[in-house]
Structure 1
């Protein structure tokens, strides 16, 4: 995995983690919920592309 891909995944995971913390505190807004889902989808896409690149 390239350095750039690792940085992107770290940033996505960090942002998702912060929103998960907000959700646990009961402070997650509806728009933030959908933003988090978009971040999760982006993370999944990066991982799939990385797996395709390995093949």
Structure 2
């Protein structure tokens, strides 16, 4: 996995984690925050799938 890919995944995980923590602390996420987190999760999955495809080249 490239250095750039690791940085992207770290940033995605960090932001997803911050939103999850906020929710665990009992704070309800705004609708926009919820959808932002869902978008980040989708982006993370895409990055991982592309990385797996590149591994087979």
Q: TM-score, normalized by length of structure 1?
A: 0.95
2: CA distance between counterparts of 1:37 and 1:23?
Answer: 14
1: CA distance between counterparts of 2:38 and 2:26?
Answer: 17
Aligned residues, how many? 55
1: CA distance between counterparts of 2:26 and 2:54?
Answer: 39
Q: In structure 1, what is the equivalent of residue 11 of structure 2?
A: 11
2: CA distance between counterparts of 1:11 and 1:53?
Answer: 21
| Structure 2 residues without counterparts, runs of 5 or longer | none
Q: After TM superposition, which residue ranges in structure 1, 4 or more long, deviate above 3 angstroms? A: none
Task: Note the C-alpha offset of 1:26.
Answer: 2.8
1: CA distance between counterparts of 2:6 and 2:34?
Answer: 24
Matched, 1:51 2:38: no
